[in-house]
């Protein structure tokens, strides 16, 4: 029998779950002459990609890659990109790679999911930037496009793999002060950095403006502030916050599979449970919208298997 802890380092962990959604995911390997330029391209590519609500995709750096792990033996960065559907994912990759990686000095771009059976054409639509001067090479059964540019040549793989991923894993850090909540969130992000198969798409990995679906007052809004967890309106809304909680930050995770997200959440929550944190909880919609449920206490107990859908919603939602 796996023991499911109710607290970590004296910080209570609510018996609730994070509710996440199915997405389509790709892994892009960006290499460059130096780690600096690989990171520059990756950072630019993953800008404005925090939430599918307005950015059309979610993307972030997954981890740094040593030269021996990249297709061309240069320093690299692995980026994960998530979108709600297959067509959207392909379009986002073409747009973002075309505008941010192709344009960045010394870079080359490769597929990071070579075993994926679903393939997307990415280098092929970008090749026409070469205006007829482009050339292709097939190495080990994979086609690469060589696009002549002013600096020299941009190399990109013709097609990229696509897999089913999960978006919207999350947990909330309820702090006594804004400083305490931020320190705990930073510790969580640092602990989760570099875990394979997972990204934290929000700025620095942290969300200060968790949202609920729709809005109470503005009918056209797709999402609006999660007032149940906003401390400044605590007396005038249906709050989830107790006395002593003065700031809440959220960590949102996207991943290639359930196990990766669950493992990262465990590491992050363990790191976030520190002095000044009153409680750890998670956002969901009562289990009615997203098929993937990350039960916090089960995860902390080392159980990474997807659990059954609970009957009721224990806490407020944060898409």
Partner 1 sequence: MSDSVTLTLKETIDGRVVADAIVPDRLATLSATEIAHLPVWLARHTSPPALADATGCDADRAARAQDQHSVELGDLFSVRGERSAVVRVQGNLANVDAIGAAMTAGTLSIDGNAGRELGRGMTGGTIAVHGNVGDDAGLAMAGGAVLVWGSAANRVGGALPGASRGMTGGEIFVRRNVGRDAGASVRRGLIVVGGDAGDGTARSMIAGTVLVMGKVTGTVGLWNKRGTVVALGGATVPATYRYACTYRPPHLRVIFAYLRHAHGVPVDDRYISGRYARYCGDLSEVGKGELLLWTDA
Contact footprint for partner 1 (CB under 8 A): 71-74, 108, 133, 135, 137-140, 144, 146, 152-155
Q: What is the smallest separation between the CB atom of 73 and partner 1, expressed in angstroms?
A: 5
Q: What is the smallest separation between the CB atom of 148 and partner 1, expressed in angstroms?
A: 10
Q: Closer to partner 1 at the Cβ: 152 or 194?
A: 152
Q: What is the smallest separation between the CB atom of 138 and partner 1, expressed in angstroms?
A: 7
Q: Closer to partner 1 at the Cβ: 152 or 302?
A: 152
Residues 6+ apart with CB under 8 A from 311: none
Counting beta carbons within 10 angstroms of the beta carbon of residue 117, is it exposed (0 to 12), middle (13 to 18) or buried (19 or more)? Answer: exposed
Q: Look up tokens 């392909």; give the residue.
A: 90
Q: Look up tokens 């067509």; give the residue.
A: 87
Residues 6+ apart with CB under 8 A from 145: 123, 124, 126, 127, 130, 134, 135, 136, 155, 156, 157, 158
Measured in whole angstroms, how far is the alpha carbon of residue 73 from the centre of its chain? 26
Counting beta carbons within 10 angstroms of the beta carbon of residue 87, is it exposed (0 to 12), middle (13 to 18) or buried (19 or more)? Answer: exposed
Q: Closer to partner 1 at the Cβ: 112 or 201?
A: 112
Q: What is the smallest separation between the CB atom of 108 and partner 1, expressed in angstroms?
A: 5
The residues with which 153 forms a beta bridge, in sequence order, are: 148
Q: How many CB atoms lie within 10 A of CB 22?
A: 14
Q: Closer to partner 1 at the Cβ: 37 or 202?
A: 37
Q: What is the smallest separation between the CB atom of 133 and partner 1, expressed in angstroms?
A: 8
Residues 6+ apart with CB under 8 A from 96: 45, 49, 57, 59, 81
Q: Closer to partner 1 at the Cβ: 74 or 96?
A: 74
Q: Closer to partner 1 at the Cβ: 153 or 242?
A: 153
Q: What is the smallest separation between the CB atom of 110 and partner 1, expressed in angstroms?
A: 8
């Amino acid at each position: 029998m796996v023991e499911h802890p109710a607290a970590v380092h004296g910080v209570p962990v609510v018996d609730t779950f994070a509710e996440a959604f199915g997405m389509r995911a790709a892994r892009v390997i960006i290499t460059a002459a130096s780690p600096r330029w690989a990171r520059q391209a990756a950072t630019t590519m993953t800008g404005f990609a925090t939430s599918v609500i307005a950015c059309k995709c979610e993307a972030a750096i997954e981890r740094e890659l040593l030269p021996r792990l990249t297709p061309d033996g240069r320093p690299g960065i692995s980026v994960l990109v998530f979108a709600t559907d297959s067509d959207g994912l392909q379009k986002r990759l073409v747009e973002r790679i075309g505008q941010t990686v192709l344009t960045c000095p010394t870079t080359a771009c490769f597929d990071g999911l070579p075993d994926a059976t679903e393939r997307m054409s990415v280098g092929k639509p970008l090749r026409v930037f070469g205006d007829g001067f482009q050339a292709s090479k097939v190495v080990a059964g994979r086609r690469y496009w060589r696009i002549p540019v002013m600096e020299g040549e941009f190399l990109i793989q013709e097609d990229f793999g696509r897999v089913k991923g999960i978006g919207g894993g999350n947990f909330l850090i309820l702090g006594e002060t804004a400083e305490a909540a931020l320190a705990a969130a930073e510790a969580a992000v640092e602990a989760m950095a570099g875990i394979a198969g997972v990204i934290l798409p929000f700025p620095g990995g942290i969300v200060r403006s968790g949202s609920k679906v729709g809005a109470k007052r503005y009918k056209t809004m797709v999402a609006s502030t999660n007032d149940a967890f906003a401390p400044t309106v605590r007396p005038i809304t249906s709050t989830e916050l107790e006395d002593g909680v003065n700031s809440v930050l959220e960590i949102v995770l996207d991943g290639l599979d359930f196990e990766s997200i669950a493992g990262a959440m465990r590491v992050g929550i363990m790191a976030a449970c520190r002095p000044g944190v009153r409680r750890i909880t998670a956002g969901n919609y009562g289990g009615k919208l997203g098929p993937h449920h990350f039960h916090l206490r089960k995860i902390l107990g080392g159980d990474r298997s997807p659990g059954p859908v609970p009957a009721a919603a224990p806490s407020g939602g944060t898409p």
